[in-house]
Chain A
Amino acid sequence: MQEAMIKRAKELLADGTVDRVMGWKKGEFSYDHTPAVFTSAQELDENFVCDDFTSANLSKYLVKETVRDGKILAFLKPCDTYSFNQLVKEYRIDREKVYVIGIPGGPKLDIEKIRAKGITGILNIRNENYTLKIETIYGVSEMPFYEAIGVKCESCKSKKHVVYDELIGEDGEVLDSNRFDMVEKLENMTSQERYDFWRSELSKCIRCNACRTVCPACTCEKCVFENPDSGIENKAAADSFEENMFHIIRAFHVAGRCTDCGECSRVCPENIPLHLLNRKFIKDINSLYGTYQAGENTTDKAPLNEYKMDDCEASIVHERGAE
């Protein structure tokens, strides 16, 4: 796969279709790849990587890239194409300036899941028939592949690319995912249990802002949390309630636009299941206004941006609201 991608990227660079390539570059270790822009065949050969650890969603980087002149090639996994579409819809990405190659999706691995098994000093990880051979400074460890897949891949919603100029590999289908199971579990809790759950999760937050930085729906020119005029800028953690509110405010900001790409939970150093907040919104939107998938296309009106005759009445929301 990686070879095919590098080959195609070089061709497109050579024939002038694109000037730059958006992909992932190798990190210091075999599991810490990061998004990167490549401009030459040499760079591609040296650093381009696509494997079980290239889970980062590249769509958001295209917001900045398409402000620049020229055209860029982007390799997008199925889940990333939803974010891409959503950003095109919001006029954040200039579609004309991107050449999209759809590539097969995950499941991708999460290094934290491997570390959680007590495996440390990791040097290299190989996937042999869905068993991970993990080379460490202490010797070789093994674990099943599926026990190490990332949270976002555990409940994959779609293997289908909703946008591409060409595909490498096969296109898949929208999946019947179990992604709302945990939301349902939370809904069935008493309000005290739910409050306790979120307090215990959100109080771990160190306000590193990684979730916001990585989120493809968070592309504001000036984030309200960084705007002194907004009244809710990065306040010192004077009281824990404000810290907790950060995530709830952020979930409201991306409601109806979040494609459920799962990047927020993937990057959280404290492993807070932030995606559950967004999924609760998605589930409610689906049940109140009919099934809607943000980023499925660039034309559908978003339920929270549209008024229809058959929209549910406020009184119904009220009835369903409190327990």
Chain B
Amino acid sequence: MQRIGVFVCHCGTNIAATVDVKAVAEALGHEPGVVISQDYQYMCSESGQYLIKDAVKEHSLTGIVVCSCSPRMHENTFRKAAAAAGLNPYLVEIANIREQCSWIHKEIATATEKAIILGRAAVAKVHLNAPLTAGESPVVKRALVIGGGIAGIQTALDIAEAGFEVDIVEKEPTIGGKMAQIDKTFPTLDCAACILTPKMVECAQNDKITIHSFSEIADVKGFVGNFTVTIKKKARFVDETKCTGCGLCTEKCPMKKVPNEFNMGLDNRTAVYIPFAQAVPKVAAIDPDYCLMLKNGKCGVCSKVCSVGAIDYKQTDKFVEEKYGAIVVATGFNPIKIDKYEEFAYNQSPDVVTSLELERLMNAAGPNGGTLLRPSDKKHPHTIVFVQCVGSRCDDENGKPYCSKICCMYTAKHAMLIREKYPDTEVYVFYIDVRTPGKNFDEFYRRAVEQYGVHYIKGMVGKVTPKSDGKLDVQAADLLANEQLHIDADMVVLAAAIEPDKSARPLATMLTTQMDTNDFFTEAHPKLRPVESATAGIFLSGACQGPKDIPETVAQASAAAAKAIGLLCKNSITCNPCVASSDELMCNGCSSCEKVCPYGAITYIDKEFRMPDKTTRIRRVASVNPAVCQGCGACTVACPSGAMDLSGFSNSQIMAEVDAICK
């Protein structure tokens, strides 16, 4: 006979204000098998836990139901309390009467009724709970960082510093990411390259760090502590081990009209190229879309001039398989395409540029050698208009609903730098709000306004019209003065919204991690677990999780590294005992479960069975590797015969819950 204890938590007023907790405790006390049912203000508190521990001993409980918050919050707390009192921790069930009840209902009567039903379902389930014992699985002491921008670089350096091997997989030919393209950084105005490139070099020089540049993730298998990742090393047609980065091939390449992506297409590069002077690894790559040799088989100049014979036109994509204990996602962001905002004439005039394009126009390694010139006629611009929130905080489908967070600050930076270097240039900034939360951020913005005389105008630009004299007519509203403005501008700079890199979504599928509707990775808890994904062993670094500036990105990158190091320090991790198993007598051998298993935990074996008529028969049956199974339950749903079952969430337990709810 089961002896079940029910404990109903008030959670202060979180639950008790909407749910009559005394009525819930009273009602559940009459459920079959329940020997004690009580309520308490904070079950998760020390004294709340003692209440449970004492009740286990006093009433010889065989099962516990805690009606409280989501099991993601305190299931572990109560399991530990049960274990401390000598009860198997898997005989504890949580009825979530907070997130799924009190927080979403207003009426006390209905919320109380629902809380009782949820509690009843948990009691019905705990009747069928079996004690489970967790096993252990070893941890591979190597980390993978996906993305080699400042986030990935910082995470990799920190993990390497702690003494663990770490691989960076970067899809571009060099690490560095967006920060390498930026000219100066706010709020200190130091040169981005000056602070980034030492870190890039450190990555290259660190024995513990392996950089897989021009590579992508092709496949991820396994689970926390034991991931198996297939890395696709894209053909760069240059032998990385031989190339010295001398750059002779790039000088001699006859194909010189390839848009240079590092400079946002504002100038050209050659078909064989090194993205920029400080690239790491400093190894050339051949662009197969433009290389005459690869396209037509005629040329071969780079091969002839290369003194070390590094050019290899026959190189193909290679796949390497590596094992990792932890994975950090640092896939970063991109500015959105702003072609759809026709009102800003971005496609009509070369003098309408995005902020990242302006970074390149102002950069010493940029197309104009650091002198700010209009792209159309290479003349010095005298009036520049900045437009904020292009695609950010936007209701329509062209833009993004969120604030891109970095635009206010980098626009203040741009305005200040231009006024500093070219005092004869008038700078206008059109904004909805100026958002400057951050250390020294508001001071920075106020310097732009007060010290540098940048004209900040609250209001949006309605239309930009290129005129015949080469100027741009900017039509805008000044909301504070309540008047329409026309500004004759030489250049217009658009602060385009930022979005997660397109590689993030397929990657999330491979990693079985969650994303929000904007394709930003979702953290395990928005406040308390900001750098962990909900999938164990997968951590989040930088703008892949949400818009971030550099200081915040670096802070989060180090935090993610700390979490990864915490995992890699362990020799083994406790496995989840809630794993699937197959009832071989019922298994049809159809392979449905094997096909849906995201972890590759299921294999099929031919096994000899003694049949009821005393003959023997070889049957094909499913076999689950409990070390690999993560207990997701996909197989139990796919199994047509019901042979597959999940410990802790058995089919009969779930049916019992449903029956209890529908009673």
Contact = CB atoms under 8 A, between A and B. Distances in A.
Contact of A253 (B586, B587, B640): B640
A309 B588 contact: no
Contacts of A257: 640
A239 to B, nearest CB: 12
Interface string B568-594: 000000000000000001111111100
Contacts of A301: 595
Contacts of A302: 595
Contacts of A230: 642, 651
A306 B595 contact: yes
B652 A307 contact: no
B234 interface: no
A304 B591 CA distance: 13
A231 interface: yes
A220 B586 contact: yes
Nearest to A220: B641
A254 to B, nearest CB: 8
Contact of A91 (B509, B589, B638, B651): B589
Contacts of A90: 588-592
B208 to A, nearest CB: 34
B105 interface: no
Nearest to A304: B638
A229 interface: yes
Contacts of A229: 652
A219 B655 CA distance: 23
B636 to A, nearest CB: 12
A129 B535 CA distance: 68
A221 B638 contact: no
14 contacts: A90-B588, A90-B590, A217-B640, A220-B640, A220-B641, A221-B586, A221-B588, A221-B643, A223-B641, A224-B641, A227-B586, A305-B592, A309-B505, A309-B506
A182 interface: no
Given A253-B640, A305-B638, A222 B585 contact: yes
A115 to B, nearest CB: 35
Contacts of A254: 640
Contacts of B592: 90, 305
B592 to A, nearest CB: 6
B486 interface: no
- The residue in B586, B617, B655 that gathers the most chain A C-beta atoms within 10 A of its C-beta is B586
B264 interface: no
B590 A231 contact: no
A67 interface: yes
Contacts of B588: 90-92, 219-221
B600 to A, nearest CB: 13
B108 to A, nearest CB: 29
Given A67-B617, A305-B596, A307-B509, A92 B642 contact: no
Contacts of A224: 641-642
A221 B621 CA distance: 11
Given A90-B592, A221-B586, A232-B655, 4 more contacts: A67-B617, A91-B588, A92-B590, A254-B640
B620 interface: yes
B655 A222 contact: no
A299 B509 CA distance: 23
A79 B505 CA distance: 40
A222 B590 contact: no
Contacts of A309: 505-506, 509
B426 to A, nearest CB: 47
A90 B592 CA distance: 8
The interface size bin for chain A is 20 to 34
B642 A227 contact: yes
Interface in A272-323: 301-302, 304-307, 309
Give the 5 A-B residue pairs with the shortest CB-CB distance, closest first. A220-B641, A90-B590, A305-B595, A231-B655, A91-B589
A91 B620 contact: yes
Interface string B590-627: 11100110100000100000000000010010000000
A119 B585 CA distance: 49
A201 to B, nearest CB: 24
A220 to B, nearest CB: 4
Interface string A190-224: 00000000000000000000000000010111111
Interface string A82-94: 0000000011100
Contact of A221 (B509, B587, B604): B587
Nearest to A86: B590
Contacts of A67: 617
A241 to B, nearest CB: 11
Interface in B626-652: 638, 640-643, 651-652
Contacts of A220: 586, 588, 640-641
Contacts of A222: 585-586, 641
Nearest to B617: A67
Nearest to B510: A309
B591 A91 contact: yes
A67 B505 CA distance: 46
Contacts of B591: 90-91
B579 to A, nearest CB: 19
Given A231-B655, A305-B592, A309-B509, A221 B640 contact: no
- The residue in B589, B590, B651 that gathers the most chain A C-beta atoms within 10 A of its C-beta is B590
Contacts of A307: 509, 596, 598
A91 B587 CA distance: 11
- The residue in A217, A222, A301 that gathers the most chain B C-beta atoms within 10 A of its C-beta is A222
Contacts of B638: 304-305
A67 B613 CA distance: 14
B91 to A, nearest CB: 21
Contacts of B617: 67
B212 to A, nearest CB: 23
A300 to B, nearest CB: 11
- The residue in A220, A232, A253 that gathers the most chain B C-beta atoms within 10 A of its C-beta is A220
Contacts of B596: 305-307
Interface string A122-154: 000000000000000000000000000000000
Nearest to B640: A253
Interface string A231-256: 11000000000000000000001100
- The residue in A221, A231, A307 that gathers the most chain B C-beta atoms within 10 A of its C-beta is A221
Contacts of A305: 592, 595-596, 638
Contacts of A219: 588
Contacts of A223: 641
A231 B652 contact: yes
Contacts of B509: 307, 309
Contact of B641 (A91, A221, A306): A221
A227 B643 CA distance: 11
Contacts of B587: 221
A303 to B, nearest CB: 11
Nearest to B586: A222
Interface string B102-140: 000000000000000000000000000000000000000
A224 B604 CA distance: 22
Contacts of B642: 224, 227, 230
B653 to A, nearest CB: 10
Nearest to A87: B590
Contacts of B643: 221
A221 B585 contact: yes
A91 B586 contact: no
A302 B638 CA distance: 11
Contacts of B586: 220-222, 227
Nearest to B656: A231
A117 B598 CA distance: 55
Contacts of B585: 221-222
A256 to B, nearest CB: 9
A91 B590 contact: yes
